[in-house]
């Protein structure tokens, strides 16, 4: 009886990481710290974040007319599109290259996992 209990415990401990890898609890995170530089670096950092967070097949376009630089941060505006929907995203990057905030509007964010 003890052997069976021990084997079940070992099996549980061995399979838990595999099960968690498909859950949001164990999702890889995007590094919000990027290269400190100009507005072009901030735009590329925001684009990479959106590519990481949005599903495959999403087209990301910069709204260069709306994107701007202030004394403290860069504000980047993006247009998002896939085969069924269109939306917008806003990303704020401080002068040290850290994304301090972002939002996606009118676009369903789908996570990348085998459950989708």
Report pLDDT for 92: 92
- pTM for the full model? 0.65
pLDDT per position as a tens digit, 21-46: 555 555 567 677 777 788 888 899 88
Return the CATH number at 76.
3.10.450
Asked whether residue 19 is assigned to any structural domain, the reply reads no
Q: Which domain holds residue 41?
A: 32-105
Asked whether residue 69 is assigned to any structural domain, the reply reads yes
Asked whether residue 40 is assigned to any structural domain, the reply reads yes
Run of H or E residues at 111: none
**pLDDT greater than 70 at residue 100:** yes
pLDDT per position as a tens digit, 69-94: 999 999 999 999 988 888 889 999 98
Count of domains for the chain: 1
Asked whether residue 12 is assigned to any structural domain, the reply reads no
**Cβ-contact 32, 49 below 8 angstroms:** yes
Under the banding of pLDDT at 50, 70 and 90, the label for residue 115 is very low
Asked whether residue 91 is assigned to any structural domain, the reply reads yes
Asked whether residue 4 is assigned to any structural domain, the reply reads no
The fraction of the chain above a pLDDT of 70, given in percent, is: 72
Asked whether residue 6 is assigned to any structural domain, the reply reads no
Asked whether residue 97 is assigned to any structural domain, the reply reads yes
């Amino acid at each position: 009886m003890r052997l069976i209990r021990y084997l079940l415990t070992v099996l549980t401990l061995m399979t838990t990481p595999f099960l968690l890898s498909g859950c949001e609890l164990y999702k890889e995170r995007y590094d919000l710290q990027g290269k400190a530089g100009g507005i072009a670096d901030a735009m590329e950092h925001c684009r990479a974040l959106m590519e990481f967070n949005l599903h495959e097949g999403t087209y990301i376009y910069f709204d260069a007319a709306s994107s701007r630089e202030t004394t403290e941060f860069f504000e980047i505006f993006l247009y998002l599109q896939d085969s069924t929907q269109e939306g917008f995203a806003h990303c704020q990057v401080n002068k040290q290259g850290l994304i301090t905030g972002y939002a996606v509007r009118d676009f369903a964010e789908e996570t990348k996992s085998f459950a989708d």
